[in-house]
Structure 1
Amino acid sequence: MTRYFLRRFATMAVTLLAISVLIFVVIKLPPGDFLTMRIQELMAEGDSAAAAKADFLRRAYGLDLPGWQQYLSWIGLWPRAGAYSGLLQGNFGWSFEYDLPVIDVVGDALGATLIVNLAALVFIHLLAIPLAVFTAVRRRGIVAEAITFLAYLGLATPSFLLALILLFYLNRWFGISIGGLVDPDLADAPFSLEKLGSITVHLIVPIVVIALASTAAMIRRMKANLLDELHKPYAVTARAKGLGPTRALLKYPFRMVLNPFVADIGNMLPGLISGSVLVSLVLSLPTVGPILVQALRMQDQYLAGFILLFVAVLTVVGMLIADLVLALIDPRIRFGK
């Protein structure tokens, strides 16, 4: 198991390096950069002092260097201003638009993003797995048909449209404050049970909206896989030997269909983050989605690069965790068969 972990960890490191190169190339594809455009604007306005400061930052952060040197400087493998200071050294860069270190711009948003999307991930599995099992076992019942119909609706409903509907009607009918992650009156208050309750209430709508499509998709896929396994010879034999229906289901077919869904954990979390950008804009959630959109629009390369790399890290770490869990529950993977 240790050798398997080390092998997967080495693969993860190489993958992250390749992803960082792709991220940097994509960010640098549009011509120019934030400071170059800013210098041109300031010179046109006649503000030579501010333009000189912007030009100083441009040279200090190596934006006048060739692209490959800029990348190595960003990573921390090329000296900048006589010292190595990049991602490997814990320096995530400078946001030129906000005129702040990147970590100060996204610090609170990273925590909010993880809270919202991890809660959505838990919600998906807690809701989808029992409903999928129920609809597979009771597939001809009225309740199962209703769940299947609702799953189709969940797949077909755009998340931003559902967010707008809930934003309007929950506030109109129930007076629930929608938007943000806490009531404005408690935003600057110290942590308390009242603030925790406010956060919990505000999380309900974002979690439902973000997780709806993924929940519906998981119900459909797991139901189809279970129906395929329930009629295989080993499942029929288990029931013929007198094994109870519930135990026969959970011990054999259910375990067989778990592998692809455990493997999906690595892809699901970053997918939720990227898919929740519009929802975050609609619901005014303080996540990294709106910040990323603005950073890409303004060519704030260090800010955009860090956020994209953060999502990439979540992807590869999630896939590593999924692989380790698969190795634990399926010996064939652990022994490389």
Structure 2
Amino acid sequence: MVKYLGRRAFYMAATLLAISLVVFVIISLPPGDFVTALRAKYSVMGQGLTEADVQALRVRYGLDGNLLQQYWNWITRIVFHGDLGMSFEHSKPVADVIGPRLGATLGISVITLFVSWGIAFPIGVYSAVKQHSIGDYAATTIGFLGLAVPNFLIALIFIYFSVTWFGSVPSGLCSPEWCDASWNLGKLLDLLGHLWIPMVVIGTAGVAGLVRIIRNNLLDELRRPYVTAARARGVPEGRLLRRYPLRVALNPFFSTIGWVLPLLLVGDIVVGQILSLPTLGPILLAALKAQDMYLAGSIIMVLSVVTVVGTLISDLLLGWLDPRIRLGHQK
């Protein structure tokens, strides 16, 4: 296991290095740079910049070198000093920009993930065990609707009913009067009152997808010969379901960690904009529009690290859950 972890750690480092290079190149592909975007912004405001000003800004932000030099300066600061660089647009370190939002984003992500699992698991199992029942048809219909309706449309529907029924627009994770207050029971209740909306909106598609996956996997396992043989030997249905088919049906919960975590971490960018959520998604969108390459690149690298680590966690959990994977690894 130690050799396996060491080999995976080496592959993870090489993968992240390759991702960083690709990300930096892609972010730098649009014509111009941050100074170009800044110059256009000042022109709209009627405050033109001279060529000397533009050159001074490029030197100030380290944009006077070629793309390879800029990438090398950025990646070496990250690897050797843990410095994500300066955000051009915010004029402060990238860590200070994304740090305050990272806690809220992680909180929403983890809660949404566990709530999605808690909802999808019993519905998927019931839908498979009671195939062709009214409950199965209802779960299947709702699941297809959840996959078909975009999250931003669900967010807009929530806003519409909130304005119609309560006369207020749901936004952020706290009410204005509680945002700067110290933590107490009132602020916690206010947070919970705001938190359920992004949880429902962001987690809808995930719940619907997991229900479909669990239902189909469990149905496939229930038709296998070993299940028929166990039933013939008189194994009780509940015990049979828990010991064999259900364990295999759990695989999607763990195998999807690698791609579910980064999606939840950045959130739906459009949903974040609509609900004014303090997540990384809106910051990433603004950084890409402003060509703030260090801020955008750092956020994408954070997501890449989460993806790679999540994939490793998925592999380890699947090896623990499914003996076939462990035996295959030993061979």
Q: Residues 261-312 of structure 1, C-alpha deviation per residue, up to 9 Å, x if partnerless? A: 3111111122334551111111110111111111111101111111111111
The equivalent of 2:92 in structure 1 is 100
The equivalent of 2:183 in structure 1 is 191
Shift in alpha-carbon separation, 1:174–1:136, aligned structure 2, 3 A: farther
The equivalent of 1:62 in structure 2 is 62
How far apart are the structure 1 equivalents of 2:140 and 2:116? 16
Asked if the contact 1:177/1:202 (under 8 Å) is kept, the reply is: no
**Residues 1:178 and 2:170 are matched in the alignment:** yes
The equivalent of 1:162 in structure 2 is 154
**Residues 1:4 and 2:18 are matched in the alignment:** no
The equivalent of 1:79 in structure 2 is none
1:163 Cα deviation (Å)?
0.6
The equivalent of 2:115 in structure 1 is 123
Q: Residues 148-176 of structure 1, C-alpha deviation per residue, up to 9 Å, x if partnerless? A: 11111111111111111112213533567
Of 115, 119, 126, which aligns to 1:134?
Answer: 126
Asked if the contact 1:116/1:207 (under 8 Å) is kept, the reply is: yes
Q: Residues 195-235 of structure 1, C-alpha deviation per residue, up to 9 Å, x if partnerless? A: 11111121101011111111111111211111111011111
**Residues 1:239 and 2:234 are matched in the alignment:** no
Shift in alpha-carbon separation, 1:264–1:47, aligned structure 2, 3 A: closer
The equivalent of 1:216 in structure 2 is 208
Specify the code of the residue in structure 2 equivalent to 1:170.
Answer: S
The equivalent of 1:25 in structure 2 is 25
Shift in alpha-carbon separation, 1:14–1:332, aligned structure 2, 3 A: farther
1:330 Cα deviation (Å)?
2.8
Asked if the contact 2:267/2:280 (under 8 Å) is kept, the reply is: no
How far apart are the structure 2 equivalents of 1:303 and 1:263? 30
**Residues 1:290 and 2:282 are matched in the alignment:** yes
Asked if the contact 2:24/2:71 (under 8 Å) is kept, the reply is: yes
The equivalent of 2:34 in structure 1 is 34
Asked if the contact 2:214/2:249 (under 8 Å) is kept, the reply is: yes
Shift in alpha-carbon separation, 1:132–1:37, aligned structure 2, 3 A: closer
How far apart are the structure 1 equivalents of 2:52 and 2:144? 56
Shift in alpha-carbon separation, 1:181–1:40, aligned structure 2, 3 A: closer
**Residues 1:299 and 2:291 are matched in the alignment:** yes
Asked if the contact 1:4/1:334 (under 8 Å) is kept, the reply is: no
Specify the code of the residue in structure 2 equivalent to 1:212.
Answer: T
How far apart are the structure 2 equivalents of 1:125 and 1:158? 20
Of 130, 144, 167, which aligns to 2:136?
Answer: 144
How far apart are the structure 2 equivalents of 1:63 and 1:320? 36
Q: Is the deviation greater in 129-138 or in 176-185? A: 176-185
Q: Is the deviation greater in 16-25 or in 238-247? A: 238-247
How far apart are the structure 1 equivalents of 2:240 and 2:2? 33
- Using the size of structure 1 for normalisation, the TM-score is 0.90
The count of aligned residue pairs is 327
- Using the size of structure 2 for normalisation, the TM-score is 0.91
The equivalent of 2:261 in structure 1 is 269
How far apart are the structure 1 equivalents of 2:127 and 2:108? 28
Specify the code of the residue in structure 2 equivalent to 1:255.
Answer: R
The equivalent of 1:326 in structure 2 is 318
Identity among equivalent positions (%) equals 46
Asked if the contact 1:120/1:211 (under 8 Å) is kept, the reply is: yes
Asked if the contact 2:37/2:291 (under 8 Å) is kept, the reply is: no
Asked if the contact 1:239/1:245 (under 8 Å) is kept, the reply is: yes
Asked if the contact 1:20/1:309 (under 8 Å) is kept, the reply is: yes
**Residues 1:258 and 2:258 are matched in the alignment:** no
Asked if the contact 1:9/1:320 (under 8 Å) is kept, the reply is: no
